[in-house]
Structure 1
Amino acid sequence: EDEAYGVGYNGDFNLLGPSGDNFLKKTLDQPVKIPGLSGQGINKISVGDHKGVALGTHGLLFQWGLPYNKVRSSYDRSSIQLPHAVTFLSHVVTNLDCGG
């Protein structure tokens, strides 16, 4: 099935993208379904220190975690994002990497 799951270290920035009771939970001890990525045909994922990105079929890019316009020292919990499609791109994305 076309479902995405997260397990392991989730950190301070919701790096695995869970919602509900697991939002901002430091560690996910068991696999948790990630609704924002499930059903999107995700075929590549990269998670860095502050955010995650995923690539779906047809080149659609998803992002979550700490927004690019925030710096680590000036964020609050309300600025942490759940997985969502990046809509401002006018290009097809073929690869991705969040770095470290």
Structure 2
Amino acid sequence: MHLHCFTGNRYVQDRWVERFPRTYFAFTNKVRTFSPDQIAALQNVEDSRLLLETDAPYFPAPGSRVSSSSQISTVAEAVAALRGTTVEHVLEISVANGKHLYKSQ
């Protein structure tokens, strides 16, 4: 399951995983405004369950009026910073997860 635009906290996340153990959690530029509880949930997502999305046009990158798929790198930057890892790692795992989830080769 692809849980689109996740903004929940650990409690919500745990309930999803209990009910749907193979859930993939997708994040947008909205992570830039996350509360500490939401950041904890983002940090708790296993690498193998992390997805990125822009949810165009609703969550633009800083300085933009609307978002587009071309802004995926800004999502990766924000997620990487909050997870304490590199942008390259976040992009690598999210691409692999997307391919696995949607069976793309």
Q: TM-score over 0.5 for the alignment?
A: no
Higher helix share: 2
Could you say which structure has the greater relative contact order, defined with CA pairs below 8 angstroms and 6 or more residues apart?
1
- TM-score, normalized by length of structure 1? 0.26
* TM-score, with length taken from structure 2: 0.26
Q: Whose strand fraction is larger, Structure 1's or Structure 2's?
A: 1
